[in-house]
Amino acid sequence: MTVSNDGLVNVSNATVNLTVEAANGATETYTKYTGNLSDSADAPNNETTLTYDLTEFAAEELLGDLAQGNAKVTATVDPANDIPETDETNNQVVNSTRVVYADPAVRIQGQSTALQSQKATFVVFTKNNGTAKTGEFNVTVDYDDGTTENITIANLGVNQPNTTRVTHRFLTGGDKVVSATVSDGVPFDNNESTKDVTVKPYTLSIENDDVSVPSTVVNNSTVTVLAEFNANHPSDVNATVSLPAGLELAAGQSAEKQVRSSAKGGSVAWKVRGNTTADIEDAQVDVTVEAFGESDTASATTNVTVPKVRYTTTNATTLKSAGETQSLALNVSNATTYEHTLNVTVQSGTDGRTLQGLEYLFSYPYWCVEQTTTQMMSALRTDQYYRNGDIPSNYNRDRANSTISAGISKLADEPTPGAYFNISQHDNGAWSMYGNNPRGDLFYTIYALQARAPSPTTRCRATART
Ligand SMILES: [Ca+2]
Ligand SMILES: [Ca+2]
Ligand SMILES: [Ca+2]
């Protein structure tokens, strides 16, 4: 506002009021003084310019909905008429001023969960909601872990938006409130925005039980290795399978895969193929998963088997006297063999054939009282035969004893070690087929007693309960 002295004498410190009136009727009057003004002959010392700062009033009364119109400004010099003037009619002037303002608004968005020490991304949106340019201003992002970051936003025009992406590695875990704030010159709203973030350490694990491969892989067949892993954050996970000799990846498969993990984990599978020339037992398949520097490995085993077709051919002849020779022809199969054996068995007369038959019964299979007794009796008879004569150097007496010992144990009045069925003697002294009939069966009882009874032909001295 310019106040001038048009008179012929100096003016000392005239009062100048400026009243601003908002659209809502609110008014505020500011008072200033001119200081000394020379007379009009001493231009330009006869005038002064006064400046009034209406910001505070504007902030309270002229903004928001009320900012639409102009503010009425009335300037009055010498309002109390302290100064006699030649013209008292030119002491007041009315004008209006348009109130404009800058109003940066801020909003922050981003992930709701983040991994400690891993990069988290947030987006800071700013916009000028005001009616004047903002000038350059700062947004302060507080990550709630002791770290703040200042983002400088260039001058935003009216309604102009800005999007700024920020990344942060949280130093600590826990529930965080990430805030973005701008400082307005006046208390406008939209000056702060927050985003709740749960920060946690990343975990990734895989268990042996969660790696599966069929227990047997037939050579040249393709099977699936399936692995499931646990994680606590959605991400890409690198999964690698390591195959033992005898297994290879099926065509088109790669050992390392990138798979998507949910917030709980994921699964990965490979097609693998048996490729071996010999059986492999307990071939170990390892699966390793890795993400965010965390890794874990688990294993499963399988047996790789080569399908077998067994070719056998037998022939026999009889030699009747010392020095006699005979030729035997074997039909050889036209096949590539991986294992082959030639067994030559010489049986000396009726005794030899009988002994060989009895020795076969040493390992007569299955478990009932009759089968057990038959094994045991065969071993007893065979052993007795050799003990009555010359024991040949290649007779395996331990094998006979082992069968006899197992028979005694199985028929004993005690749980059968290692056997599925308990075929031992019942409380009434009898035996039954599989130990399943407490009353006993006559045949099994007689047979078992024969094996266990004192006899000149056996060296088994165990006595049966009768
Ligand atoms: Ca006056
Ligand atoms: Ca005047
Ligand atoms: Ca604002």
CATH topology for 2-98 is Immunoglobulin-like (2.60.40)
List, for residues 340-350, the tens digit of each pLDDT value. Answer: 888 888 888 88
CATH number for region 104-200 = 2.60.40.10
Ligand of minimum distance to the alpha carbon of 137 = 3
Protein residues within 5 Å, CB atom, of ion ligand 1:
78, 81, 83, 85
User: Above 80 in pLDDT, residue 452?
Assistant: no
Q: Which ligand is nearest to the CA of 14?
A: 1
Q: What is the predicted pLDDT for the residue at 416? A: 55
Whether 464 has a pLDDT exceeding 60, the answer reads: no
Question: Above pLDDT 90, what percent of the chain?
Answer: 58
Count the alpha carbons within 13 Å of 135 in the hemisphere toward its beta carbon: 7
Q: How far is the CA of 114 from the centre of ligand 3 (A)?
A: 29
Q: What is the distance in A from the centroid of ligand 2 to the CA of 97?
A: 24
* CB-based neighbours (< 5 A) of ligand 3, an ion: 103, 105, 184, 188, 190-191
State in Å: Cα 28 to ligand 3 middle.
Answer: 24
What is the mean predicted confidence (pLDDT) over 427-433? 89
Between CA 41 and CA 410 the distance in angstroms is 142
Q: What are phi and psi of 118, to 5 degrees?
A: -105, 155
Higher pLDDT, 112 or 391: 112
Range of weakest confidence among 26-30, 411-415, 459-463: 459-463
Which 8-state DSSP code applies to residue 425?
P
Q: Cβ neighbours of residue 64 under 8 Å, at least 6 residues apart?
A: none
Confidence at 436, pLDDT banded by 50, 70, 90 = confident
**Ligand with smallest separation from the Cα of 180:** 3
| CATH class of the domain whose range is 204-305 | mainly beta
Mean pLDDT of 226-239: 95
Pairing of strands 161-169, 119-128: antiparallel
For residue 59, give the ligand nearest its CA.
3
| Residue pLDDT, tens place only, 89-108 | 999 999 887 777 788 999 99
CA of residue 55 to ligand 2 center, whole Å:
29
CA of 83 to the centre of ligand 1 (A): 4
- pLDDT grade, residue 414 (50/70/90)? low
- What 8-state DSSP symbol labels residue 40? G
List pLDDT tens digits, range 18-31.
Answer: 999 887 788 999 99
Residue 437 confidence (pLDDT) = 86
Q: Is the pLDDT of residue 372 over 70?
A: yes
Q: Cβ contacts of residue 323 below 8 Å, gap of 6+? A: none
Q: How far is the CA of 72 from the centre of ligand 2 (A)?
A: 21
Q: Residue 391's pLDDT is what?
A: 82
Q: pLDDT digit string (tens) for 165-201?
A: 999 999 888 999 999 999 876 657 889 999 999 999 9
Residue 170 Cα to ligand 3 middle (Å): 28
| Centroid of ligand 2 to alpha carbon of 5 (angstroms) | 8
How remote is the CA of residue 17 from the centroid of ligand 1, in Å?
13
Quick one: which ligand is closest to 84's CA? 1
Domain range summary for the chain, segments of one domain joined by + = 2-98, 104-200, 204-305, 350-452
At residue 460 the predicted structure's pLDDT band, cuts being 50, 70 and 90, is very low
Ligand 2 centroid – CA 231 distance (Å): 85
pLDDT over threshold 50, residue 458: no
**27: CA distance to ligand 2 center in Å?**
24
- Examine domains 2-98 and 104-200 and report if their fold is the same: yes
Q: How much is the average pLDDT of 324-338?
A: 83
Q: How far is the CA of 18 from the centre of ligand 2 (A)?
A: 16
Question: Which-ligand-closest: CA of 102?
Answer: 3
pLDDT digits (tens, 9 = 90+) for 122-160: 999 999 988 889 999 999 999 999 999 999 999 999 999
Distance 67 CA to ligand 3 centre (A): 15
Residue 80 CA: which ligand is closest?
A: 1
- The pair phi, psi for residue 145, each rounded to 5°, is -125, 25
Q: Are the beta carbons of 51 and 113 closer than 8 angstroms?
A: no
Are residues 49 and 71 in contact, defined by beta-carbon separation less than 8 angstroms?
Answer: no
In this structure, the dihedral spanned by the alpha carbons of residues 180, 185, 187 and 192, taken in order and rounded to 10 degrees, is: 0
Report the alpha-carbon distance of residue 206 to residue 265 in Å, rounded. Answer: 9
Ligand with an atom nearest the CA of residue 82: 1
Of the listed ligands, the closest to the CA of 86 is 2
- What confidence score (pLDDT) does residue 224 get? 97
pLDDT band at 66 (very low <50, low <70, confident <90, very high): very low
Give the separation between CA 335 and CA 333, rounded to whole angstroms. 6
Q: Using an 8 Å Cβ cutoff, are 17 and 3 in contact?
A: no
Tell me how far the alpha carbon of residue 332 lies from the centroid of ligand 1, in angstroms.
Answer: 142
Measure the CA–CA gap between 423 and 438, rounded to whole angstroms: 11
Neighbouring C-beta atoms of residue 374, cutoff 10 Å? 19
Note the pLDDT of residue 466. Answer: 34
Residue 10: the pLDDT is 94
Alpha-carbon span 202 to 287, nearest angstrom: 19
Confidence band, pLDDT 50/70/90 cuts, at residue 395: confident
Structure tokens at 112: 């709701």
Give residue-wise pLDDT tens across range 254-273: 999 999 999 999 999 999 99
Q: How far is the CA of 92 from the centre of ligand 2 (A)?
A: 8
pLDDT confidence of residue 295: 96
Q: What spacing in Å lies between the alpha carbon of 267 and ligand 2's midpoint?
A: 91
